[in-house]
Structure 1
Amino acid sequence: MKPRTTPSSKPNVLSISIVVYRPDSQQLNSTLAGLSAACHAVYAKRPGQPIALSLIDNGGLPEGLECLEELRASGVTCTVITGQGNVGYGRGHNLAIQRSTSRYHLILNPDIDLAPDSLQQALDFLEAQPEVGLLTPWIGDEFGSQQFLCRRYPTLLDLFIRGFLPCKLQRLFSRRLVRYEMRDVINEIDVVWDPPIVSGCFMLFRTSVLKQLAGFDARYFLYFEDYDLSLRAHDFTRVVYVPSVRVLHHGGGAARKGVAHIRMFISSAYKFFNRFGWKWL
């Protein structure tokens, strides 16, 4: 691995890791631009408390990302971790988590656009609620509609319906999906304590908790590593959904990404249920 970094002498209030593999340059620049604006808001309220970004290149990272240079210019310590090959999503993040000495660590997808006040709102909440070790935000799609990515423990049927059935057929199982996706309690207003599973596209941890968990389980190459980490987090800390923290998510499901992703999804689902228990219907 060959980290390329801009050094900082002060301890970081926040570290961020983003894993990329052949990313869409336009979307990645959009994510970095939103991150830059969110970091500026943090600096405005917490001057002198550095932020560090680790960009883990699992392959195909474009050269000369303008927004990465803008982040560096604004004072964010930026490290590109490269040379390890495509080690998977969780193991990629673990490379940054192992190095982190910050107070808080954000696991972030390269297809997330952050609201300008998102990081400031999130840090304010964590500092006011010391019992919380993992925060998940309100997540919208590119049209601004809410994505319900907090989950109750899944059954195999839930996963099949949500991941592989077309929308018209999903409506036949709407009551199941409402329960699985926690639509009965998740909304745009209310803080929800201890959702069982939260999305890996934005997971803001106290770094001390993340270290206790030893990061992601490296047995998952892609998919279900966030389910695994969420469930294990409840053994150490409280988890909270905070809708005042807002992001947009441009990701898609495994079935829409082709046969290779379906195979990885099934393989990871098998590992997940073997560890936590099989639930069929």
Structure 2
Amino acid sequence: MDITACIVTYNNSFSVLSKAISSFLNSKLELKLYIIDNSPTDQIRRLCTDRRIEYIFMNSNKGFGAGHNVIMSDVSKMGKYHLVLNPDIEFKAGTLEKLYQYMEKNEDVGNVMPKVLYPNGELQYLCKLLPTPKDWILRMFCPFKSIKDRIDHNLEMRFADYDKEMNVPYLSGCFMFLRRSVIEEIGRFDEGIFMYGEDTDLNRRIHMKYRTMYYPEVSIIHNFEKGSHKSLRLLWIHIKAAIYYLNKWGWIFDGQRSTINNVTKRKYYIK
């Protein structure tokens, strides 16, 4: 199998999800798509008619990472490359072929993410440094836009050239094109994180041994909404994820974070 992909769903719009499914299946490569449905009912099953789709109804919501781990914990279920795919992503035919060839030519790359755009064509800044406690706290709670903008400029690597390839310590989990052999070695998502931050943790672990690349020669569309900014429940989930991540890696004393971030800024900062 060339590429497998997994979409974890929870009460997603049929129209949005169908675009993600169609985008992935529109390829000449050997593919398989897993739909892990955390929804309270199995209505999404109706979209899964293609023989290349395996639908798995969980009958509970154990979280984003736990859903993906249903597949990632069993390497026999994954292709040579495995795509962690959000249900709100769409892309053109040929995208998977280009990413496949990129990984074939760059054996030291463990994860690659393309350029990510809003539906209106605007760039999404999804290449990030490893977050500090200050980054997360101020982004969630600071009422002053000027301060948030300064945090974003640094954390989201807005100082860099998003038209060039970059080796990034934290790539968004909306589209993670992973090498199966790397997942076998590094491991799957940490299920201590229900949602938000599980991608930070996994990409950081991969980045310690392999390149984790932003590849802007390919682009995708992400119908992104900051759910935690609109719901107190999701905000609380986000807070718990940040606390778990910082407890795991270190709040103030995380020398590895400082080293990785400083190396990244020196390499990609546009003077």
- Give the alignment's Cα RMSD to 1 decimal: 2.0
Is residue 158 of structure 1 aligned with residue 124 of structure 2? no
2:248 is matched with 275
Is residue 230 of structure 1 aligned with residue 207 of structure 2? no
> 1:28 pairs with 17, 22, 37, which one?
17
Change in Cα spacing, 1:237 to 1:269, as seen in structure 2 (3 Å) is same
> 2:88 pairs with 82, 86, 111, which one?
111
Structure 2 matches for 1:112-191, cutoff 5 A? Answer: 112-164=89-141, 169-187=144-162, 189-191=163-165
Residue by residue over 1:17-66, the C-alpha shift from the partner in whole angstroms, topping out at 9 and shown as x without a partner, is 010011111111121122232xx2xx1xx5xxx21111001114424544
Residue by residue over 1:79-107, the C-alpha shift from the partner in whole angstroms, topping out at 9 and shown as x without a partner, is 11123521211011010113324110000
Helix, strand or coil at the partner of 2:116: strand
More displaced stretch, 81-90 vs 226-235: 81-90
2:212 is matched with 239
Q: Which whole-Å CA distance do the structure 1 matches of 2:158 and 2:44 have between them?
A: 41
TM-score, normalising length from structure 1? 0.82
Whether contact under 8 Å (1:25, 1:62) holds in the other structure is no
Q: CA deviation at 1:253?
A: 1.9
2:43 is matched with 62
Residue by residue over 1:122-164, the C-alpha shift from the partner in whole angstroms, topping out at 9 and shown as x without a partner, is 1111011111111111111121111111111212332244345
Q: Which whole-Å CA distance do the structure 2 matches of 1:252 and 1:165 have between them?
A: 19
Q: For residue 110 of structure 1, what is the amino acid of its counterpart? A: P
Is residue 261 of structure 1 aligned with residue 234 of structure 2? yes
1:200 is matched with 173
Helix, strand or coil at the partner of 2:114: strand
More displaced stretch, 229-238 vs 215-224: 229-238
Q: Which whole-Å CA distance do the structure 2 matches of 1:165 and 1:61 have between them?
A: 40
Segments of structure 1 that go 5 or more residues without pairing to the other structure are 1-11
Q: Which whole-Å CA distance do the structure 1 matches of 2:84 and 2:95 have between them?
A: 14
Whether contact under 8 Å (1:15, 1:51) holds in the other structure is yes
Whether contact under 8 Å (1:20, 1:61) holds in the other structure is no
Q: CA deviation at 1:117?
A: 2.3
Whether contact under 8 Å (2:190, 2:198) holds in the other structure is yes
Whether contact under 8 Å (1:158, 1:180) holds in the other structure is yes
Change in Cα spacing, 1:86 to 1:25, as seen in structure 2 (3 Å) is same
Q: For residue 38 of structure 2, what is the amino acid of its counterpart? A: N
Change in Cα spacing, 1:165 to 1:248, as seen in structure 2 (3 Å) is farther
Identity percentage over the alignment?
Answer: 29
Helix, strand or coil at the partner of 2:234: helix
TM-score, normalising length from structure 2? 0.85
